[in-house]
Amino acid sequence: MKKLIYMLVALFLLSPMAAMAEDFLGAPLPPGGNVVSKTDAKMEVAYTMTYADAIAFYKEQFKGSKDYAFRDRGDATYIEEYSNKPWHSVLITKTGEGVTITASKDSYTWIAGTLALRFFAVFLVLIALYIPLQILSVVMGKIQAKKAAAKAAA
């Protein structure tokens, strides 16, 4: 009987481990969460902790390192990792009951995609400069043409 009780107590104490978050490719995750979904590329865990506590957890985890960037997105915080770890980002999203933390794997698709976007952005910046220059060019061309015509008439 005693053995049965001990076994039941042990099972009861060990059961939270099934609900506890696992490490995702080395990305730190707070303990005590419930895994919502998990694939090779992403793992989503729900927590009852507050949004502020979740942020504080990660600020403590990454204290002193320059390889992380925290980006505030209103109801979410996106943490990007810039060294060569297997994971790339952690997204902390506010939910009704607490927060959801999504850890994502590093991927060349993200890298290539974001670079393509930025290469395109260089074009946009220079096109934005091109437009006023072109307008200035047209206006000055007309002024010069008028002056030349006035000179010719005189």
Partner 1 sequence: MSAYDVYEMFKGTIDTMGILSISWQMLLMWAIAGFFMYLAIVKNFEPLLLLPIGFGIFIVNFPMVPLMGYTSAGHPELIKFFYHYGLEWEIIPCVIFLGLGALTDFGPLIANPKMLLVGAGAQLGVFVTFTGCVMAGFTLKEAASVGIIGGADGPTTIYLTQKLAPELLGANALAAYSYMAMVPLIQPPIMKLMTSNAERTIKMRQLRAVSQTEKIFYPLVSTVVIILLVPAVAPLMGMFMLGNLFKESGVVARLTETSGNALMNIVTIFLGVSVGATMHWSAFLSPKPLFIFSLGMVDFVVCTIGGVATVKLMNLFLKEKINPLIGNAGVSAVPMAARVSHTVGQQYDKKNYLLMHAMGPNLAGVMGSAAAAGLFIAMFGG
Q: Which residues bind partner 1 (CB under 8 A)?
A: 66-67, 69, 82-84, 108, 111-112, 114-116, 118-119, 121-130, 132-134, 136-137, 140-141, 144
The least distance separating partner 1 from the CB of residue 106, rounded to whole angstroms, comes to 9
Question: By C-beta, is 10 or 136 nearer to partner 1?
Answer: 136
Report the C-alpha gap between 12 and 34 in whole angstroms.
Answer: 16
Q: In whole angstroms, how close is the CB of 73 to partner 1 at the nearest point?
A: 16
| Residue nearer to partner 1 on the CB measure, 19 or 136 | 136
Minimum distance from residue 125 beta carbon to partner 1 (Å): 4
Please, what is the minimum distance in Å from the beta carbon of residue 144 to partner 1? 7
Closest CA to 49 of 33, 36, 37, 62: 33
Cα–Cα distance measured from residue 110 to residue 49, given in angstroms and rounded to the nearest whole number: 29
Q: How far apart are CA 99 and CA 52, in angstroms?
A: 10
Count of other CB atoms within 10 angstroms of residue 81 = 21
Cβ atoms of 85 and 25 closer than 8 Å: yes
CB nearer to partner 1: pick between 12 and 119: 119
Residue placing its CB nearer to partner 1 in the complex, 88 or 99:
88
Cα–Cα distance measured from residue 89 to residue 50, given in angstroms and rounded to the nearest whole number: 20
